[in-house]
A and B are shown apart, each in its own frame.
Chain A
Amino acid sequence: MEYCLTTAMLCKQYKSFKALNGLTMHVPKGAIYGLVGRNGAGKTTLIRLIAGIQEPTSGEYTLYGVKNTDREIHKARRHMGAVVETPSIYMDMSAEENLKIQYHVLGLPNYEGIPELLQLVDLDGCGKKKAKHFSLGMRQRLGIAVALCGSPDFLVLDEPVNGLDPQGIVEIRELILRLNQEQQITILISSHILDELSKLATHYGFVDRGAMVREVSAAELDAACRKCIRLSVTDTRALCRVLDGMGIEYSIISDTEADIYGEVSITQLAVALDKEGCDVRSMHEHDESLENYYMNLMGGGRNA
């Protein structure tokens, strides 16, 4: 698999506080990579490092195969756009002026592409309105447009829906999906709004205390979070015989518990188990969401 970003044992220490503690991650090309973690887990620190705003204390990362210690890393960063924490825009300028400024920062020869960018982020009707008079969602979209100047292949978004109203959240989500699907831009998105992330991400990285706890693809996560019925019985061997006979997929959890996948007739199952001399003690639907998965992974007790 080709990766546009990898990190290896990345560490960042602020005085005595270790914000990143040996974080290793892999962002595949073309993915929407959701970086999940509670506040202070190290998500923003990681983004600051890969954006070149700060230097790692130890460890390394590669951007399109170029190591952070390599002189060429500055060129590799030209493939990347980022919105770190708040949108980086001049508040006393209009959307178009902000994009013109960024075009010059990049050394682009002309302003071709600015109308399309403004249209893409739905800011083409703003005229000379200054960014300080924009809503939070508009500023966020302008920040993304600035990050998209120079047509990057890799977009890093730090908490892009934080503080947005439902309408703003939907707009940002649609924009991210469009960028990924229509322009094949790889997107790294950090968030602790898990429900929102689950609508976007193709890959997940779960971060806690500055380290990667697990990296999974959305398909793997779906399998782990599959809907099932958790059954508690007196005899799981009898249960296995009955389920095998009925051709139902299942997994045994313990001597008395099993998860049953797919549609099943409860009456038929209960009758068949009764014939085998097996009592059903309890039965409930088990639907593990991304939130449950996250809580189980992090050991629960702490909020994302």
Chain B
Amino acid sequence: MNNIIETRDLTKRFGKNTAVQSLNLTVPAGSIFAFLGPNGAGKTTTIKTLMNIMQPTQGSATIFGTDSRRLGPKEFAQIGYVSENQEMPEWMTINQFLNYCKKMYSTWDDKFCHELIEQFSLPLKQKLKSVSRGMKMKAALVSSLAYRPQLLIFDEPFSGLDPLVRDEFISGVLNITEDKNWTILISSHDIDEVERLADWVGIIDKGLLKIVEQAEVLQNRFRRIELTLKDPIDIKHNFPENWYLPELQDRTVHFIDSQYEDRKSEDKIRTIFPNCSNVEVMGMSLREIFVTFAKKFRISEL
């Protein structure tokens, strides 16, 4: 099976509001897929629909080839799910909680679980209700990793965590998944953190999926360009469609090239701006690419 998750025209409406519209998404096996988007973009709704927490209004989704509406114990035994929104049995101690989860999975690995407990320094005797949010998320992560699921789904796992805990969390996930070739779908609006993990990126905004691409390819084709011109020109008139967010300051032009190719792009720039004296090409982080998209979506709406 090449794709662990597939959606086909997945739509979810709440009354008149459309949270997710005709979403077509594939998450390849073994990938770490960053599902990005601003708050309210439809990430959590998509994940909840995938997990059969909600029913799609239209379209369909499959996980391991099973329709999301038919996901049952057999499929959930292979899925690890950690979400900022998930309620936990707070009256239990962490030890009770892990023991409770252990009973659900035939593949539970005690040794691995103890390694994770040590790695995350979990206070086993404390009740979930009395530990910090970060510790709770770590406990949830351990309970979702210890049975070695084939698919991990993280829904905004870093929300509300302090940077140190966030770093521990990410390092933990990276360490564990490095060798295992697990598939991970991670949704976040905090791109900086996801950048270290993701090899695929999907960007959603207002329920519409804007981009699905390998992170490396995306980062390779996006460049921040800075030109210095000899004479001022009307930049709007001359810009191609794949050049985003053009800005002119004195004789300096900034824009983002979304289809950057070493020679071709520079040739194109020189064709459009024959009087440019200097071209500076800068690589972009995922965060910058995401912000570019966010600004572009906003402008196109206006």
A and B: interacting chains = no
- Chain B residues at the A interface, C-beta cutoff of 8 Å: none
- Chain A residues at the B interface, C-beta cutoff of 8 Å: none
